[in-house]
Amino acid sequence: MRLFFAFCFALVTSFSLIVMPAGADEKVFSISAKIKDPVASDVRQTKYEDPLDAALKAAKVGEVVGGGNSVDAKGKIEWAGVDIEVNDLQAGLALIKEKLVSLGAPKGSTLEYKAGGKKVVVPVQ
C-alpha cells in the first residue's frame, strides 16, 4: 500500500513539473509590433526579429516569440508583424521602441498590448 501511495505521489509531482513551467508565477505581457515595412519573411527575421530578440534577452526583459506578414488580396505584403513577450511592460516597451527605431522601423509602426483588460496601441515613434 505504501508503495502505491509513493507511486501516486511521484506521478502527481512529475505531472505538475510538466504542466507548470518554470517561472509560472512570473507575469508575462504579450506585445505585437506592427511594422509598416513590406519586407519578406526572411528579411523581417534578420532585420527586426533577431536583433530585437538579442536586445530583449541581453536586458533580461523578454524575447521575440514569433512573427508574420500581413498581405493584401493580391498577395502583396503590407506590413511585418513581430510577436514579443516581456516580463516588465514599461521596460519592455521602452526597449522595443528604441530598438525598432534604430533598426529603421518606419513612422506609422505601432505596438499593441493589453493593460487593465483594454487594448492599447502606441506608436513606435
pLDDT digits 0-9 by tens, 81-120 = 999 999 999 999 999 999 999 999 999 999 999 988 999 9
pLDDT of 77 reads 96
Residue 119 burial (CB < 10 Å; 0-12/13-18/19+)? Answer: exposed
Residues 100-110 pLDDT 10s: 999 999 999 99
Rounded to an integer, the average pLDDT of 46-69 is 97
Q: By percentage, how much of the chain surpasses pLDDT 70?
A: 79
Which uninterrupted H or E stretch holds 9?
helix 2-19
In 12-61, DSSP assigns E strands to: 29-35
Q: What pTM, to 2 d.p., does this model score?
A: 0.78
For the chain, give the mean pLDDT: 85
